[in-house]
Structure 1
Amino acid sequence: MKRRKFIKYSSAGTLLINLLPQQLFAMQQFTEEELIGKGTPGLYGDGFQVRKEVYDAFVKMKAAAQKENIDMEVVSGYRDFFRQKAIYERKYKKYTEEGLSPVKSIEKIIEYSTIPGTSRHHWGTDMDIIDARGKHEGDVLIPDKFHGNGPFCKFKEWMDKHSESFGFYLVYTDNGNRKGFKYEPWHYSYKPLSGPMLKEYRKIDIKEMLIKNELLGKEHLSDDFIDRYRRENVLDINPELL
Protein backbone atom coordinates (compact mmCIF):
# COMPACT_ATOMS: atom_id res chain seq x y z
CA MET A 1 0.00 0.00 0.00
CA LYS A 2 1.30 3.46 -0.83
CA ARG A 3 2.38 5.54 2.14
CA ARG A 4 -0.15 8.33 1.38
CA LYS A 5 -3.08 5.90 1.31
CA PHE A 6 -1.86 4.23 4.50
CA ILE A 7 -1.80 7.57 6.31
CA LYS A 8 -5.29 8.38 5.00
CA TYR A 9 -6.82 5.09 6.19
CA SER A 10 -4.92 5.13 9.49
CA SER A 11 -6.14 8.64 10.24
CA ALA A 12 -9.75 7.66 9.54
CA GLY A 13 -9.46 4.61 11.79
CA THR A 14 -7.93 6.64 14.59
CA LEU A 15 -10.74 9.18 14.32
CA LEU A 16 -13.41 6.48 14.75
CA ILE A 17 -11.59 4.87 17.67
CA ASN A 18 -11.26 8.20 19.44
CA LEU A 19 -14.93 9.09 19.05
CA LEU A 20 -16.84 8.78 22.30
CA PRO A 21 -19.58 6.10 22.33
CA GLN A 22 -22.26 8.81 22.53
CA GLN A 23 -20.83 10.51 19.43
CA LEU A 24 -20.89 7.23 17.54
CA PHE A 25 -24.50 6.54 18.54
CA ALA A 26 -25.43 10.11 17.59
CA MET A 27 -24.56 9.17 14.02
CA GLN A 28 -27.46 6.69 14.02
CA GLN A 29 -30.85 7.72 12.68
CA PHE A 30 -33.91 7.21 14.89
CA THR A 31 -37.39 7.32 13.38
CA GLU A 32 -40.39 8.80 15.16
CA GLU A 33 -41.95 5.33 15.20
CA GLU A 34 -38.94 4.03 17.16
CA LEU A 35 -38.98 6.94 19.57
CA ILE A 36 -42.68 6.55 20.45
CA GLY A 37 -42.46 2.78 20.90
CA LYS A 38 -43.87 1.62 17.58
CA GLY A 39 -40.63 0.66 15.88
CA THR A 40 -38.89 -2.70 15.69
CA PRO A 41 -35.49 -2.23 17.38
CA GLY A 42 -33.17 -5.21 17.68
CA LEU A 43 -33.68 -6.36 21.27
CA TYR A 44 -31.67 -8.69 23.49
CA GLY A 45 -32.07 -10.13 26.97
CA ASP A 46 -33.27 -13.09 29.02
CA GLY A 47 -36.46 -12.21 30.88
CA PHE A 48 -36.18 -8.59 29.76
CA GLN A 49 -35.30 -6.87 26.51
CA VAL A 50 -33.15 -3.85 25.62
CA ARG A 51 -30.98 -2.82 22.68
CA LYS A 52 -27.82 -4.85 22.16
CA GLU A 53 -25.45 -2.02 23.14
CA VAL A 54 -27.37 -1.61 26.40
CA TYR A 55 -27.50 -5.35 27.06
CA ASP A 56 -23.75 -5.75 26.57
CA ALA A 57 -23.01 -2.88 28.98
CA PHE A 58 -25.48 -4.26 31.54
CA VAL A 59 -23.87 -7.72 31.44
CA LYS A 60 -20.49 -6.15 32.28
CA MET A 61 -21.99 -4.10 35.11
CA LYS A 62 -23.85 -7.12 36.50
CA ALA A 63 -20.64 -9.18 36.50
CA ALA A 64 -18.80 -6.45 38.41
CA ALA A 65 -21.58 -6.20 41.01
CA GLN A 66 -21.66 -9.96 41.51
CA LYS A 67 -18.11 -9.74 42.88
CA GLU A 68 -19.64 -7.85 45.81
CA ASN A 69 -22.54 -10.30 46.26
CA ILE A 70 -25.08 -8.17 44.38
CA ASP A 71 -27.22 -10.00 41.83
CA MET A 72 -28.81 -7.44 39.51
CA GLU A 73 -32.28 -8.26 38.25
CA VAL A 74 -34.07 -6.24 35.59
CA VAL A 75 -37.72 -5.78 36.56
CA SER A 76 -38.62 -3.90 33.39
CA GLY A 77 -36.77 -3.10 30.17
CA TYR A 78 -38.28 -2.27 26.78
CA ARG A 79 -42.00 -1.52 26.68
CA ASP A 80 -43.69 -0.73 23.40
CA PHE A 81 -46.38 1.90 22.82
CA PHE A 82 -49.24 -0.57 23.11
CA ARG A 83 -48.06 -2.02 26.43
CA GLN A 84 -47.71 1.49 27.87
CA LYS A 85 -51.13 2.44 26.49
CA ALA A 86 -52.70 -0.56 28.22
CA ILE A 87 -51.12 0.47 31.55
CA TYR A 88 -52.19 4.10 31.13
CA GLU A 89 -55.78 3.35 30.08
CA ARG A 90 -56.29 0.77 32.84
CA LYS A 91 -55.33 3.40 35.41
CA TYR A 92 -57.37 6.10 33.66
CA LYS A 93 -60.52 3.95 33.80
CA LYS A 94 -59.87 3.00 37.43
CA TYR A 95 -59.39 6.57 38.65
CA THR A 96 -62.30 8.05 36.70
CA GLU A 97 -64.60 5.25 37.93
CA GLU A 98 -63.49 6.08 41.48
CA GLY A 99 -64.76 9.62 40.94
CA LEU A 100 -61.68 11.60 39.92
CA SER A 101 -62.11 14.04 37.06
CA PRO A 102 -60.33 13.13 33.80
CA VAL A 103 -57.68 15.81 34.39
CA LYS A 104 -57.08 14.72 38.00
CA SER A 105 -56.91 11.10 36.85
CA ILE A 106 -54.21 11.93 34.31
CA GLU A 107 -52.28 13.94 36.91
CA LYS A 108 -52.40 10.97 39.31
CA ILE A 109 -51.23 8.58 36.59
CA ILE A 110 -48.19 10.68 35.74
CA GLU A 111 -46.85 10.67 39.29
CA TYR A 112 -45.06 7.47 38.29
CA SER A 113 -46.41 6.27 34.91
CA THR A 114 -45.82 7.92 31.56
CA ILE A 115 -48.31 8.79 28.88
CA PRO A 116 -47.87 6.28 26.02
CA GLY A 117 -45.58 7.58 23.31
CA THR A 118 -43.53 9.51 25.88
CA SER A 119 -41.89 6.70 27.87
CA ARG A 120 -38.11 6.30 27.93
CA HIS A 121 -38.78 2.57 28.12
CA HIS A 122 -39.88 2.80 24.47
CA TRP A 123 -36.24 3.30 23.48
CA GLY A 124 -34.75 0.06 24.75
CA THR A 125 -32.17 2.09 26.70
CA ASP A 126 -33.79 2.24 30.15
CA MET A 127 -34.25 -0.40 32.82
CA ASP A 128 -35.78 -0.78 36.27
CA ILE A 129 -33.20 -2.72 38.31
CA ILE A 130 -33.16 -4.32 41.77
CA ASP A 131 -30.97 -6.78 43.67
CA ALA A 132 -32.37 -10.30 43.37
CA ARG A 133 -30.65 -11.21 46.65
CA GLY A 134 -32.54 -8.53 48.59
CA LYS A 135 -35.21 -10.16 50.73
CA HIS A 136 -38.49 -8.37 50.17
CA GLU A 137 -42.26 -8.65 50.20
CA GLY A 138 -44.85 -7.00 48.01
CA ASP A 139 -44.07 -4.33 45.43
CA VAL A 140 -40.33 -3.98 44.85
CA LEU A 141 -40.42 -0.52 43.28
CA ILE A 142 -40.79 1.46 46.49
CA PRO A 143 -38.17 4.19 47.19
CA ASP A 144 -37.84 3.28 50.90
CA LYS A 145 -36.64 -0.21 49.93
CA PHE A 146 -33.49 1.33 48.41
CA HIS A 147 -32.43 3.25 51.51
CA GLY A 148 -31.73 2.78 55.23
CA ASN A 149 -32.37 -0.84 56.12
CA GLY A 150 -34.22 -1.58 52.89
CA PRO A 151 -33.50 -4.80 50.97
CA PHE A 152 -31.92 -2.93 48.06
CA CYS A 153 -29.84 -0.34 49.92
CA LYS A 154 -26.56 -2.19 49.25
CA PHE A 155 -27.44 -2.30 45.55
CA LYS A 156 -28.19 1.45 45.55
CA GLU A 157 -24.91 2.26 47.29
CA TRP A 158 -23.01 0.22 44.71
CA MET A 159 -24.82 1.89 41.82
CA ASP A 160 -24.11 5.35 43.23
CA LYS A 161 -20.41 4.55 43.09
CA HIS A 162 -20.10 2.52 39.90
CA SER A 163 -23.08 2.67 37.50
CA GLU A 164 -21.91 5.73 35.57
CA SER A 165 -18.59 4.09 34.72
CA PHE A 166 -20.65 1.53 32.76
CA GLY A 167 -22.76 4.25 31.09
CA PHE A 168 -25.85 3.93 33.31
CA TYR A 169 -27.34 7.03 34.98
CA LEU A 170 -30.26 7.41 37.37
CA VAL A 171 -33.06 9.23 35.52
CA TYR A 172 -35.46 10.57 38.17
CA THR A 173 -33.19 11.73 40.96
CA ASP A 174 -33.96 12.58 44.58
CA ASN A 175 -33.72 16.33 44.02
CA GLY A 176 -36.23 18.47 45.88
CA ASN A 177 -36.15 21.09 43.14
CA ARG A 178 -36.94 18.59 40.39
CA LYS A 179 -40.52 18.42 39.09
CA GLY A 180 -42.32 15.79 37.03
CA PHE A 181 -42.06 12.11 37.89
CA LYS A 182 -41.30 11.22 41.47
CA TYR A 183 -37.97 9.82 42.63
CA GLU A 184 -37.21 6.37 41.19
CA PRO A 185 -34.02 4.85 42.65
CA TRP A 186 -34.48 1.80 40.39
CA HIS A 187 -34.68 3.50 36.96
CA TYR A 188 -31.38 3.69 35.03
CA SER A 189 -30.66 4.85 31.49
CA TYR A 190 -27.76 3.99 29.20
CA LYS A 191 -26.56 7.49 28.41
CA PRO A 192 -24.38 6.81 25.31
CA LEU A 193 -27.54 5.81 23.44
CA SER A 194 -30.42 7.52 25.29
CA GLY A 195 -28.70 10.92 25.05
CA PRO A 196 -28.85 11.05 21.23
CA MET A 197 -32.35 9.56 21.28
CA LEU A 198 -33.65 12.26 23.63
CA LYS A 199 -32.16 14.90 21.33
CA GLU A 200 -34.22 13.47 18.45
CA TYR A 201 -37.31 12.96 20.61
CA ARG A 202 -37.41 16.66 21.49
CA LYS A 203 -38.30 17.38 17.84
CA ILE A 204 -41.61 15.48 18.11
CA ASP A 205 -44.90 17.35 18.51
CA ILE A 206 -46.24 15.40 21.51
CA LYS A 207 -49.82 16.67 21.35
CA GLU A 208 -50.16 15.90 17.65
CA MET A 209 -48.75 12.43 18.26
CA LEU A 210 -51.17 11.69 21.13
CA ILE A 211 -54.24 12.92 19.22
CA LYS A 212 -53.26 10.81 16.23
CA ASN A 213 -52.96 7.69 18.39
CA GLU A 214 -56.48 7.85 19.87
CA LEU A 215 -55.56 7.96 23.55
CA LEU A 216 -58.29 7.79 26.21
CA GLY A 217 -58.81 11.26 27.66
CA LYS A 218 -56.88 12.96 24.87
CA GLU A 219 -59.50 15.71 24.69
CA HIS A 220 -58.40 16.82 28.18
CA LEU A 221 -54.75 17.24 27.16
CA SER A 222 -54.64 21.01 26.73
CA ASP A 223 -51.74 22.89 25.20
CA ASP A 224 -50.78 24.14 28.68
CA PHE A 225 -50.85 20.60 30.10
CA ILE A 226 -48.70 19.22 27.26
CA ASP A 227 -46.20 22.08 27.58
CA ARG A 228 -45.89 21.47 31.31
CA TYR A 229 -45.68 17.69 30.88
CA ARG A 230 -42.92 18.05 28.30
CA ARG A 231 -41.00 20.52 30.46
CA GLU A 232 -41.41 18.73 33.79
CA ASN A 233 -41.91 15.02 33.03
CA VAL A 234 -39.91 14.54 29.85
CA LEU A 235 -37.08 17.00 30.43
CA ASP A 236 -36.79 17.61 34.19
CA ILE A 237 -34.51 14.63 34.71
CA ASN A 238 -30.93 14.00 35.79
CA PRO A 239 -29.10 16.86 33.99
CA GLU A 240 -26.32 14.44 33.06
CA LEU A 241 -28.78 12.83 30.64
CA LEU A 242 -29.75 16.01 28.80
Structure 2
Amino acid sequence: MKKITVISFLLMFQINLFSQTVYNLNALTGRGDLELIGDSYKLQKEAFEAFNAMKDAAAVEGVTIEIVSSYRSFEHQKRIWKRKYKMFISKGLSPRLAIAKIIEYSTIPGTSRHHWGTDIDIIDGSVSKPKNILIEENYFDKGVYSNLKKWMDENSEKFGFYLVYTNNSSRKGFKFEPWHYSFKLLSKPMLVEFKKIDLGNLYTKIELKGYKFLTQEFLEKYNKENIFDINPNLDN
Protein backbone atom coordinates (compact mmCIF):
# COMPACT_ATOMS: atom_id res chain seq x y z
CA MET A 1 0.00 0.00 0.00
CA LYS A 2 1.43 3.40 -0.98
CA LYS A 3 2.02 5.99 1.73
CA ILE A 4 -0.48 8.45 0.26
CA THR A 5 -3.12 5.72 0.35
CA VAL A 6 -2.48 5.10 4.03
CA ILE A 7 -2.75 8.81 4.84
CA SER A 8 -5.97 9.16 2.87
CA PHE A 9 -7.31 6.04 4.56
CA LEU A 10 -6.78 7.47 8.06
CA LEU A 11 -8.03 10.94 7.15
CA MET A 12 -11.27 9.33 5.99
CA PHE A 13 -11.73 7.77 9.43
CA GLN A 14 -10.89 11.00 11.25
CA ILE A 15 -13.57 12.87 9.31
CA ASN A 16 -16.16 10.17 10.02
CA LEU A 17 -15.36 10.02 13.74
CA PHE A 18 -15.54 13.70 14.69
CA SER A 19 -19.15 13.33 15.87
CA GLN A 20 -18.67 9.97 17.59
CA THR A 21 -17.40 11.07 21.00
CA VAL A 22 -20.00 9.78 23.48
CA TYR A 23 -20.40 6.12 24.44
CA ASN A 24 -22.83 4.72 26.98
CA LEU A 25 -22.03 2.50 29.97
CA ASN A 26 -22.99 -0.74 28.19
CA ALA A 27 -20.71 0.00 25.23
CA LEU A 28 -17.80 0.86 27.49
CA THR A 29 -18.11 -2.20 29.73
CA GLY A 30 -18.73 -4.94 27.17
CA ARG A 31 -22.46 -5.33 27.75
CA GLY A 32 -23.79 -4.38 24.31
CA ASP A 33 -24.67 -1.24 22.32
CA LEU A 34 -21.73 -1.55 19.96
CA GLU A 35 -22.00 -2.33 16.26
CA LEU A 36 -19.44 -5.01 15.47
CA ILE A 37 -18.50 -6.82 12.29
CA GLY A 38 -16.40 -9.90 11.54
CA ASP A 39 -16.75 -13.65 11.89
CA SER A 40 -14.38 -15.37 14.31
CA TYR A 41 -13.01 -12.08 15.60
CA LYS A 42 -15.19 -8.99 15.82
CA LEU A 43 -14.31 -5.29 15.77
CA GLN A 44 -16.05 -2.00 15.18
CA LYS A 45 -16.34 -1.35 11.45
CA GLU A 46 -13.62 1.31 11.22
CA ALA A 47 -11.14 -0.77 13.21
CA PHE A 48 -12.03 -3.87 11.17
CA GLU A 49 -11.37 -2.09 7.86
CA ALA A 50 -8.15 -0.51 9.13
CA PHE A 51 -6.92 -3.92 10.30
CA ASN A 52 -7.63 -5.50 6.92
CA ALA A 53 -5.74 -2.72 5.16
CA MET A 54 -2.79 -3.28 7.50
CA LYS A 55 -3.00 -7.05 7.06
CA ASP A 56 -2.92 -6.68 3.25
CA ALA A 57 0.11 -4.38 3.41
CA ALA A 58 1.97 -6.81 5.68
CA ALA A 59 1.15 -9.77 3.43
CA VAL A 60 2.99 -8.08 0.56
CA GLU A 61 6.13 -8.29 2.71
CA GLY A 62 5.57 -11.90 3.76
CA VAL A 63 4.03 -11.24 7.18
CA THR A 64 0.64 -12.79 7.94
CA ILE A 65 -1.05 -10.83 10.72
CA GLU A 66 -3.53 -13.08 12.51
CA ILE A 67 -5.87 -11.96 15.28
CA VAL A 68 -6.14 -14.32 18.25
CA SER A 69 -8.32 -12.01 20.36
CA SER A 70 -10.39 -8.92 19.56
CA TYR A 71 -13.77 -7.96 21.03
CA ARG A 72 -14.57 -9.69 24.30
CA SER A 73 -17.89 -9.26 26.06
CA PHE A 74 -18.27 -8.62 29.78
CA GLU A 75 -19.38 -12.23 30.26
CA HIS A 76 -16.35 -13.53 28.36
CA GLN A 77 -14.02 -11.47 30.54
CA LYS A 78 -15.92 -12.62 33.61
CA ARG A 79 -15.27 -16.26 32.68
CA ILE A 80 -11.54 -15.53 32.34
CA TRP A 81 -11.58 -13.81 35.73
CA LYS A 82 -13.47 -16.68 37.39
CA ARG A 83 -11.13 -19.32 35.95
CA LYS A 84 -7.97 -17.51 37.04
CA TYR A 85 -9.36 -16.59 40.46
CA LYS A 86 -10.26 -20.21 41.20
CA MET A 87 -6.88 -21.40 39.91
CA PHE A 88 -4.89 -19.06 42.16
CA ILE A 89 -7.08 -19.73 45.18
CA SER A 90 -6.60 -23.49 44.64
CA LYS A 91 -2.84 -22.89 44.79
CA GLY A 92 -3.21 -21.44 48.26
CA LEU A 93 -3.16 -17.72 47.48
CA SER A 94 -5.32 -15.38 49.49
CA PRO A 95 -8.09 -13.52 47.61
CA ARG A 96 -6.01 -10.32 47.56
CA LEU A 97 -2.95 -12.12 46.20
CA ALA A 98 -5.07 -14.01 43.67
CA ILE A 99 -6.45 -10.72 42.36
CA ALA A 100 -2.93 -9.25 42.25
CA LYS A 101 -1.79 -12.19 40.10
CA ILE A 102 -4.79 -11.91 37.78
CA ILE A 103 -4.21 -8.24 37.04
CA GLU A 104 -0.65 -8.81 35.91
CA TYR A 105 -2.13 -9.54 32.48
CA SER A 106 -5.94 -9.73 32.77
CA THR A 107 -8.45 -7.01 33.52
CA ILE A 108 -11.35 -6.88 35.90
CA PRO A 109 -14.52 -7.59 33.86
CA GLY A 110 -15.97 -4.30 32.68
CA THR A 111 -12.58 -2.59 32.38
CA SER A 112 -11.02 -4.44 29.43
CA ARG A 113 -10.07 -2.45 26.33
CA HIS A 114 -11.17 -5.55 24.44
CA HIS A 115 -14.75 -4.60 25.39
CA TRP A 116 -14.52 -1.69 22.94
CA GLY A 117 -14.08 -3.54 19.65
CA THR A 118 -10.90 -1.52 19.03
CA ASP A 119 -8.12 -3.71 20.39
CA ILE A 120 -6.43 -6.82 19.02
CA ASP A 121 -3.93 -9.45 20.14
CA ILE A 122 -1.93 -10.67 17.16
CA ILE A 123 0.46 -13.39 16.01
CA ASP A 124 2.13 -14.24 12.70
CA GLY A 125 -0.07 -16.85 11.05
CA SER A 126 2.62 -17.83 8.55
CA VAL A 127 4.68 -19.73 11.13
CA SER A 128 3.94 -22.77 13.27
CA LYS A 129 2.29 -21.89 16.56
CA PRO A 130 4.41 -22.58 19.66
CA LYS A 131 2.88 -24.20 22.73
CA ASN A 132 2.55 -20.82 24.45
CA ILE A 133 1.48 -18.16 21.99
CA LEU A 134 1.24 -14.83 23.80
CA ILE A 135 4.55 -14.66 25.62
CA GLU A 136 7.16 -11.94 25.27
CA GLU A 137 10.06 -14.06 23.98
CA ASN A 138 8.09 -15.06 20.87
CA TYR A 139 8.26 -11.48 19.60
CA PHE A 140 12.00 -10.73 19.94
CA ASP A 141 15.44 -11.94 18.85
CA LYS A 142 14.87 -15.33 17.18
CA GLY A 143 11.30 -15.68 18.43
CA VAL A 144 8.73 -17.07 16.00
CA TYR A 145 6.92 -13.71 15.80
CA SER A 146 9.97 -11.45 15.66
CA ASN A 147 9.38 -10.59 11.98
CA LEU A 148 5.81 -9.60 12.82
CA LYS A 149 6.99 -7.38 15.67
CA LYS A 150 9.60 -5.69 13.49
CA TRP A 151 7.00 -5.01 10.78
CA MET A 152 4.51 -3.66 13.30
CA ASP A 153 7.14 -1.39 14.86
CA GLU A 154 7.76 0.14 11.45
CA ASN A 155 4.22 0.27 10.08
CA SER A 156 1.33 -0.21 12.54
CA GLU A 157 0.88 3.46 13.42
CA LYS A 158 0.45 4.30 9.73
CA PHE A 159 -2.81 2.35 9.97
CA GLY A 160 -3.84 3.80 13.32
CA PHE A 161 -2.79 0.86 15.52
CA TYR A 162 -0.65 1.55 18.59
CA LEU A 163 0.96 -0.77 21.12
CA VAL A 164 -0.97 -0.40 24.40
CA TYR A 165 1.20 -1.83 27.19
CA THR A 166 4.74 -0.79 26.28
CA ASN A 167 8.04 -1.91 27.81
CA ASN A 168 8.69 1.52 29.32
CA SER A 169 10.38 0.78 32.66
CA SER A 170 8.52 3.62 34.38
CA ARG A 171 5.10 2.31 33.35
CA LYS A 172 3.06 0.53 36.03
CA GLY A 173 0.05 -1.77 35.84
CA PHE A 174 -0.22 -4.55 33.28
CA LYS A 175 2.98 -6.18 32.14
CA PHE A 176 4.49 -5.57 28.71
CA GLU A 177 2.35 -7.06 25.92
CA PRO A 178 4.11 -6.89 22.52
CA TRP A 179 1.04 -8.48 20.92
CA HIS A 180 -1.67 -6.01 22.02
CA TYR A 181 -2.55 -3.11 19.68
CA SER A 182 -5.34 -0.55 19.74
CA PHE A 183 -7.04 1.42 16.96
CA LYS A 184 -6.51 4.92 18.33
CA LEU A 185 -9.15 6.84 16.38
CA LEU A 186 -11.86 4.89 18.22
CA SER A 187 -10.21 3.83 21.47
CA LYS A 188 -8.99 7.29 22.47
CA PRO A 189 -12.49 8.86 22.70
CA MET A 190 -13.76 5.69 24.37
CA LEU A 191 -11.05 6.02 27.03
CA VAL A 192 -12.13 9.62 27.62
CA GLU A 193 -15.68 8.41 28.32
CA PHE A 194 -14.50 5.42 30.37
CA LYS A 195 -12.72 7.76 32.80
CA LYS A 196 -16.11 9.10 33.86
CA ILE A 197 -17.35 5.72 35.17
CA ASP A 198 -17.63 5.17 38.92
CA LEU A 199 -16.25 1.64 39.15
CA GLY A 200 -17.01 1.39 42.86
CA ASN A 201 -20.70 1.85 42.12
CA LEU A 202 -20.50 -0.54 39.16
CA TYR A 203 -19.13 -3.44 41.23
CA THR A 204 -21.68 -3.13 44.00
CA LYS A 205 -24.21 -4.29 41.38
CA ILE A 206 -22.21 -7.12 39.84
CA GLU A 207 -21.62 -10.64 41.18
CA LEU A 208 -17.92 -11.28 40.76
CA LYS A 209 -15.47 -13.62 42.45
CA GLY A 210 -13.53 -11.62 45.03
CA TYR A 211 -15.58 -8.46 44.48
CA LYS A 212 -15.50 -7.66 48.22
CA PHE A 213 -11.79 -6.99 47.86
CA LEU A 214 -12.32 -4.47 45.04
CA THR A 215 -12.38 -1.57 47.47
CA GLN A 216 -12.55 2.06 46.42
CA GLU A 217 -8.88 2.44 47.30
CA PHE A 218 -7.96 -0.64 45.25
CA LEU A 219 -10.01 0.53 42.23
CA GLU A 220 -8.49 4.02 42.29
CA LYS A 221 -5.00 2.50 42.21
CA TYR A 222 -6.07 -0.04 39.55
CA ASN A 223 -7.48 2.74 37.36
CA LYS A 224 -4.37 4.86 37.67
CA GLU A 225 -1.84 2.09 37.09
CA ASN A 226 -3.62 -0.54 34.96
CA ILE A 227 -6.16 1.37 32.90
CA PHE A 228 -4.57 4.78 32.43
CA ASP A 229 -0.82 4.06 32.53
CA ILE A 230 -0.57 3.06 28.88
CA ASN A 231 1.24 4.18 25.75
CA PRO A 232 0.87 7.99 26.03
CA ASN A 233 0.08 8.17 22.31
CA LEU A 234 -3.28 6.54 23.11
CA ASP A 235 -4.21 9.07 25.78
CA ASN A 236 -3.30 12.46 24.30
Same fold by TM-score greater than 0.5 = yes
Q: 1:80-139 deviations in whole A, cap 9, x for unaligned?
A: 000000110111111112210100000000000100000000000000011101233212
What residue number does 1:12 align with?
Answer: none
1:117–1:24 CA distance, 2 compared to 1 (3 A): same
Q: Tell me the SS of whatever aligns to 1:156.
A: helix
Alpha-carbon spacing, 1:101–1:40, altered in 2? closer, same or farther (3 Å): same
The reply on whether 1:63 has 2:47 as its aligned counterpart is: no
Which residue of 220, 228, 231 maps to 1:227? 220
Partner of 1:8: none
Match of 2:96 among 92, 96, 103: 103
TM, length-normalised to structure 1: 0.89
Q: Highest Rg: 1 or 2?
A: 1
Paired AA for residue 135 in structure 1: S
Normalising by structure 2, report the TM-score.
Answer: 0.92
Structure 1's 202 and 134: CA in aligned 2 closer, same or farther, altered over 3 A? same
Residue 27 (structure 1) aligned with residue 13 (structure 2): no
User: What is the deviation of 1:144?
Assistant: 0.5
Secondary structure of 1:212's counterpart equals coil
Number of positions where the alignment pairs a residue of Structure 1 with one of Structure 2: 225
Name which of structure 1's ranges 126-135 and 157-166 shifts more when overlaid on structure 2: 126-135
2:122 matches 1:125: no
Rounded Cα–Cα distance in structure 2 between residues aligned with 1:233 and 1:72? 26
Distance 1:22 1:190 in 2: 12
SS of residue matched to 2:204: helix
Name the structure 1 match of 2:155: 162
State the AA in 2 paired with 1:100: L
Report the Cα distance in structure 2 between the residues aligned to 1:20 and 1:231, rounded to whole angstroms.
33
Distance across 2 between alignment mates of 1:136 and 1:20: 36
1:129-208 matches, within 5 Å, as: 129-208=122-201
How does 1:38-53 map onto structure 2 within 5 Å? 38-53=31-46
> Secondary structure of 1:161's partner?
helix
Separation (CA, whole Å) in 1 of partners of 2:120 and 2:40: 12
Task: Indicate whether 1:94 and 2:87 are aligned.
Answer: yes
Query: Which amino acid in structure 2 is aligned with residue 190 of structure 1?
Result: F
Instruction: Write the distance in 1 (CA, Å) between the matches of 2:129 and 2:110.
Output: 32
- Structure 2: where are the runs of 5+ without partners? 1-10
The whole-number CA distance in structure 2 between the counterparts of 1:224 and 1:23 is: 40
Q: How many Å separate the matches in 1 of 2:64 and 2:115?
A: 25
CA pair 26-116 structure 1, distance change in 2 beyond 3 A: farther
Contact 2:162-2:181 within 8 A present in 1 as well? yes
Residue aligning to 1:116: 109
Given that 2:13 and 2:46 are in contact with CA atoms closer than 8 Å, whether structure 1 keeps it comes out as: no
> What secondary structure does 2:222 align onto?
helix
Calculate percent identity across the aligned residue pairs.
Answer: 50
Q: 1:33 to 1:26 in 2, by over 3 A?
A: farther
Letter in 2 for 1:27: S
Q: Deviations over 1:12-64 (max 9, x none)?
A: xxxxxxx8845742522311111000013221123211111100000100000
